[in-house]
Copies of this chain bind each other. A is one copy, B any other.
């Protein structure tokens, strides 16, 4: 067996271990009995440490050393371009993992598995103090992690790079500033317009089983393959991939909030399509993996916002929705419904935010995270800082920590550096969609006739199947002919909301 084949075989083993940890996590969020938390944390810690052990073990290192220089990551000059790319990306993963001691990995996995359970309870009890000791330990471990990995421009940059390879906090700041410059006046203008978008239409009673049925139909139309995936209900919607043949999404359904369940179904469906679209031939290797968290988020938000909140989409689906919920919608026309689902209104909860104010929720988190990681802000001061920033950015003050600093799961698994990728997803997805419009003839008409498959095929061929053959910035440059900027996204928002709000 060649070194390359040996390396790929061993990486498939690593992927199988990782996907087993994924099942342990998925089950924890969907089906696990409440009393099993401690035993589950032990299982997860074990499998994650075995994954790490294997990734940095001889089975990877020996063949990899025949293909790249292990210190620099420079591929053997004799390799063809594609293989050189592949082994360099493998080296990147190996190098990062090898920097972390095994006991650190196991302690970290056990701490965060437990911390997620504690966080869920703290949030339920509105008790930040119960969670704070865990968060303090996590922050301390993140600092150790940065030491092991090597500090980039700032400690936070080291963490950000794990979620969005190649991205820096300086670049995020530049992009976010461009957004803010145009977004803040847009939101102000929307508020000043004083238009009643009749959101109450969405807050009537929508029986859960019919919501489920409608969401599932849209997923099928999007081409989400239920023989290679499934949908469940969980408190916090998420997507988990084990293999392109086993990609699972979850959603939540609120009887009195149609948009909440619909959006999360389509959002997670977008993530799911990316994972189902990865090439199984390359399973376990970078060419069978998603590019970055930001690109992943571009796929969920493209479907959730650019498709699922668009007029063409509802030209097709609105009559069907009316037929399903006649008592709620038969007297509501399409334009009214369209305005209702596109209401812009500052609110407390990120996951319920509209696509305009959403970005302010992210900017706030980005700033707080930098303070915690770079400036040593004590964890105990987080609730107050959170509330102050909410007032500053969104003009609303949380009535409780549960609706404030405790609302997101991310810090409980140590995901500092994750949040910016949500807003980056917004910035990525507009140029991608603009390109799809150029390359797919009459895309809007197709969507308006319920044909979503052509868009999925285009995304699959132009993006999903690439795996990590390109970085996020290379992908955007090559696909759209321009580097990433905030302009297309802001153009999109301004055009859409000026029309809706008559600005």
A-side residues, CB < 8 A to B, are 12-13, 16-17, 19-20, 23-24, 27, 31-36, 38-40, 42-43, 46-47, 50, 225-230, 232, 242-243, 245-246, 248
Residues of B within 8 A of A38 (CB): 245
CA distance A228 to B38 in the complex (A): 11
Residues of B within 8 A of A243 (CB): 36, 39
28 A/B residue pairs, CB under 8 Å, sorted by A? A13-B46, A16-B39, A16-B42, A16-B46, A19-B39, A19-B43, A20-B20, A20-B46, A20-B47, A23-B23, A23-B43, A31-B232, A33-B226, A33-B227, A33-B228, A33-B245, A33-B246, A34-B227, A35-B227, A35-B228, A35-B245, A36-B228, A36-B243, A39-B242, A39-B243, A40-B246, A43-B242, A50-B50
CA distance A13 to B53 in the complex (A): 15
The 10 closest A-B pairs by CB, nearest first: A36-B246, A39-B243, A35-B228, A35-B227, A35-B245, A36-B245, A16-B46, A16-B43, A34-B227, A39-B245
Q: Which residue of B lies closest to A230 (CB)?
A: B33
User: Per DSSP, are chain A's interface residues mostly helix, strand or loop, or mixed?
Assistant: helix
Residues of B within 8 A of A229 (CB): 33
Contact of A43 among B20, B35, B230 (CB under 8 A): B20
Q: How far is the CB of A54 from chain B (nearest CB, A)?
A: 9
Residues of B within 8 A of A23 (CB): 23-24, 27, 43
CA distance A17 to B43 in the complex (A): 7
Residues of B within 8 A of A19 (CB): 39, 43
Asked if B16 contacts A20 (CB within 8 A), the reply is: no
Q: Which residue of B lies closest to A226 (CB)?
A: B33
Q: Which residue of B lies closest to A36 (CB)?
A: B246
Residues of B within 8 A of A248 (CB): 33
Residues of B within 8 A of A46 (CB): 13, 16-17, 20
CA distance A248 to B33 in the complex (A): 9
CA distance A242 to B72 in the complex (A): 44
Q: Which residue of B lies closest to A31 (CB)?
A: B230
Contact of A32 among B33, B36, B43, B246 (CB under 8 A): B246
CA distance A38 to B228 in the complex (A): 11
CA distance A439 to B39 in the complex (A): 35
Residues of B within 8 A of A32 (CB): 246
Residues of B within 8 A of A33 (CB): 226-230, 245-246, 248
Residues of B within 8 A of A16 (CB): 39, 42-43, 46
Q: How far is the CB of A281 from chain B (nearest CB, A)?
A: 13
Residues of B within 8 A of A225 (CB): 35
Q: Which residue of B lies closest to A247 (CB)?
A: B33
Known: A38-B245, A39-B243. 4 other contacts (CB 8 A): A20-B24, A23-B23, A36-B242, A39-B242
Q: Which residue of B lies closest to A20 (CB)?
A: B43
Residues of B within 8 A of A246 (CB): 32-33, 35-36, 39-40
Q: Which residue of B lies closest to A39 (CB)?
A: B243
Q: Which of A32, A33, A245 has the most CB of B within 10 A?
A: A33
Q: Which residue of B lies closest to A283 (CB)?
A: B39
Residues of B within 8 A of A47 (CB): 20
Q: Which residue of B lies closest to A26 (CB)?
A: B27
Q: How far is the CB of A278 from chain B (nearest CB, A)?
A: 12
Residues of B within 8 A of A42 (CB): 12, 16
CA distance A228 to B34 in the complex (A): 7
Residues of B within 8 A of A12 (CB): 42
Q: Which residue of B lies closest to A46 (CB)?
A: B16
Q: How far is the CB of A228 from chain B (nearest CB, A)?
A: 4
CA distance A33 to B39 in the complex (A): 26
CA distance A50 to B12 in the complex (A): 15
